[in-house]
Amino acid sequence: MLSGTALASPALAAPALDGVLVDNVEGVTPDGRGGVERFEGFLIDPEGKIAQIFHKGDKRPKKVAYKVDGKGRIVVPGMIDAHGHVMATGFAKMTLDLSMAKSLDEALSRIAAWTAAHPEAPWILGGGWNQASWGLDRMPTAAELDKVTGGKPAWLMRIDGHAGWANSAALSAAGVTATTADPAGGEVLRVAGSKAPAGVLIDAATALVEKKRPKPRPEDADTAFGEAQLQFLAAGVTTVADMGTSIEDWQTFRRASDKHQLRMRIVAYAGGIEAMQLIGGPGPTPWIDDDRLKMNGIKLYLDGALGSRGAWLKAPYADDAGTKGLPQMSSTQLGNLMSRAAMDGFQVAVHAIGDEANATVLDSIEELSQTYKGDRRWRIEHAQIVDPADIPRFARNGVIASMQPQHEASDRTMAEARLGPQRLAGAYAWKSIAATGAKLAFGSDTPVEPAHPFEGLAVAISRTGADGQPMGGWQPQEILTREAALGAYTTGAAYSLFAEDRLGRIAPGLRADFLFVDEDPMTAAPQALRGTHVLETWIGGRLAWSAAQDGGKAGVRR
């Protein structure tokens, strides 16, 4: 087994001066100019960077420290997830997961089972629920949750992280009563015909319970981070942009680095001005630990999500004429926060889902660009619903569209209901945005969607879901070419992180982050591409994870 010998080889653990030759592969990598390049082999230097690429007939070096025979397997660059939530991904594994529940009844029975199995837990915590996939045209209630939680506080986040479902014990622990006012940018759903809280809290209102729930201990965070790394590596993700990093999250990453247990690369975007200053001090951190960790900037939220009607729209919701969504702050406040970060050279990433939110961020960027010149790489996270009139403003201002193809497949019917037919032209409009010259950076938004870039690639080239529906793709004019889709998960994502000089391609001078996979992303049919198996994940010229090694548990580096 290649992986077995590779792991056991002392030469690979510490490459000698001559480097490592990976040969006899069917290699494919973006070429950095919008196309792809094919190759047969490559040489990794002792620093873990690509030294040379070999095409058919090219002479290979005679003396190398170690040779990896690819046995004709497919090699692609390590995938970069340009928007994920690392710690939430790990904690989702350790807490109650409702993402598979198909109905409210099924969710309630899972909650009951978890509660019975964890008598020691002071709170019932978890998430992943989605009332839309339960065929429910309303949010679940505290009364429903009370029946299965035996008086213990329960707090369960919606799949999109923009709403939380509390039972009566959690509401009273948080002091949420009929007299609690809706906070700015948030909403406490009420029992019909009264002021009593119904159980679900949206966007800024979730903080009322978040403040009171027990915080994980550092050792729990370490365990969760280990789980998260395994998930990313097994899915072929070698770098992730962590969106909304707290100081505790950063400390967790640093502890792993200190113990040589940081197995992948993380680029952090702090979850607010305070975390930004605590982590970065006067500016972004340098790359540390052989380019495994860096803090680039800040992640801000301008609106909520479509599923809970928190996305900020220009016109009222098609399925609720009484609301245009929940802006989290005014445009002045947004401009002030963006300015505060840009002043010290931090990169700014703003969550904007609705068309009004996207237009407002673009307004702020246009204004701030007058003051903060140079290569800023402003990012809009999600850019889900954009007024077609605003689409050209991305390229004009060098704004990166950080988008998540899997959201399109999961949310298309919900988006149709929320938006009505008129507004769909600018929904998940990858191709239209890219066509204006703007850069795309793709990610998963894990744990909202699984951190599975090959599933995302399949959606990007087909606009269909796991069931192959709808035939021909939803709004098929937005289907991307394979080159563009692969580029958005590699070179485009690297660019969005200021990392194109070190990550994103298999090319001389860049870090040797690559995967052995069983499908060719340039030719596999969408359903096959979706089911791509990652066989091995290499980071910095070393094997970081292998399917053959018991789920990768043996892949601890050094």
Q: Find the shortest distance in angstroms from Cβ 207 to Zn ion.
A: 17
CB of residue 488 to Zn ion, shortest distance in Å: 16
Instruction: Give how far Cα 316 sits from Cα of 2, 80, 308, 325, 390, Å.
Output: 58, 36, 14, 8, 18
Which CB sits closer to Zn ion, 7 or 207?
207
Q: How far is the CB of 406 from Zn ion (least distance, A)?
A: 12
Q: Near Zn ion by CB under 5 A, which window of 119-127, 137-145, 389-397, 442-450?
A: 442-450
Does 445 bind Zn ion (CB under 5 A)? Our answer is yes
CB 245 within 8 A of CB 268: yes
CB under 8 A, 24+ apart: contacts of 31-38:
31/505, 32/491, 32/500, 32/505, 32/507, 34/483, 34/484, 34/487, 35/483, 36/483, 36/486, 36/522
Residue 445 or 455: the one with the smaller Cβ distance to Zn ion is: 445
Residue whose CB is less far from Zn ion, 222 or 445:
445
Query: Which residue in the shown chain puts its C-beta closest to Zn ion?
Result: 445
d(CA 168, CA 550): 43
- Give yes or no for residue 303 binding Zn ion (CB under 5 A): no
Task: Provide the minimum distance between the beta carbon of 87 and Zn ion in the complex, in angstroms, as a whole number.
Answer: 12
Nearest to Zn ion of 45, 445 (CB atom):
445
Helix (H/G/I), strand (E/B), else coil: 323: coil
Neighbours of 507 (CB within 10 A): 18
Is omega for the bond preceding 453 within 30 degrees of 0, making it cis?
no
Cα 552 to the chain's mean position, in Å? 21
- Of 335 and 443, nearer to Zn ion (C-beta) is 443
**Which one of the spans 126-134, 370-378, 409-417, 441-449 is the region binding Zn ion (CB under 5 A)?**
441-449
196 forms beta bridges with none
Which amino acid does the sequence have at 430? W
- DSSP state letter for 439: P
The CB-of-85 to Zn ion minimum distance in angstroms stands at 6
Q: Single out the segment in contact with Zn ion by CB under 5 A; choices: 288-296, 438-446, 465-473, 537-545.
A: 438-446
Shortest Å, Cβ 269 to Zn ion: 10
Closer to Zn ion by CB, 187 or 445: give it: 445
Give the strand pairing for 197-203 and 163-166: antiparallel
Cis peptide before 470 (omega within 30 of 0): yes
Give the residue with the Cβ less far from Zn ion, 40 or 445: 445
Verify binding: residue 291, Zn ion, rule CB under 5 A.
no
Quote the least distance from Cβ 444 to Zn ion, whole Å.
Answer: 9
Closer Cβ to Zn ion, 124 or 403, answer by number: 403
Where does this chain touch Zn ion (CB under 5 A) — which range of 3-11, 168-176, 413-421, 443-451? Answer: 443-451
Would you say 445 or 478 has its CB closer to Zn ion? 445
**535, 285 Cβ separation under 8 angstroms:** no
Which one, 82 or 171, has the nearer CB to Zn ion?
82
Are 269 and 381 in contact, with CB atoms under 8 Å apart?
no
Supply the minimum distance, in Å, between the C-beta of residue 88 and Zn ion: 9
Which tokens sit at 227? 């789980």
Residue 280 Cβ, how far from Zn ion at the closest point, in Å?
20
Q: How far apart are CA 178 and CA 170, in angstroms?
A: 14
Q: Taking contact as CB under 5 A, which single stretch among the options 210-218, 299-307, 397-405, 445-453 is the one that binds Zn ion?
A: 445-453
Cβ nearer to Zn ion, comparing 243 with 507: 243
Least distance from Zn ion to the Cβ atom of residue 423, Å: 22
The nearer residue to Zn ion, 240 or 506, going by C-beta atoms, is 240
Smallest gap from Cβ 351 to Zn ion, in A, equals 7
CB of 271 to Zn ion, least distance (A): 11
Instruction: Write down the least CB distance from residue 282 to Zn ion, Å.
Output: 27
Phi, psi of 438 (to 5 degrees): -75, 150
Q: DSSP secondary structure string, 386-407? A: --GGGTHHHHHTT-EEEE-HHH
Q: Which is nearer to Zn ion, 445 or 513 (CB)?
A: 445
* Least distance between Zn ion and beta carbon 126 (Å): 18
DSSP 491-541: HHHHHHTT-TTTSSSS-TTSB--EEEESS-TTTS-HHHHHTPPEEEEEETT
Name the 3-class secondary structure at 489. Answer: coil
Q: Which stretch binds Zn ion (CB under 5 A): 65-73, 444-452, 461-469, 534-542?
A: 444-452
Task: Output 81 or 445, the one with its CB closest to Zn ion.
Answer: 445
Q: Which stretch binds Zn ion (CB under 5 A): 37-45, 164-172, 392-400, 437-445?
A: 437-445
Cα–Cα–Cα angle for 143, 144, 145, rounded to 5 degrees = 90
Site for Zn ion in 410-429 (CB under 5 A): none
| Rounded Cα–Cα distance for residues 133 and 254 (Å) | 38
Give how many residues touch Zn ion by CB under 5 A.
1
Can you give the three-state secondary structure of 58-126, one letter per residue? CCCCCCCCEEEECCCCEEEECEEEEEECHHHHHHHHHCEECCCCCCHHHHHHHHHHHHHHCCCCCCEEE
Strand boundaries in 287-385, DSSP class E: 293-301, 347-352, 379-382
Q: Point out which residues bind Zn ion (CB under 5 A).
A: 445
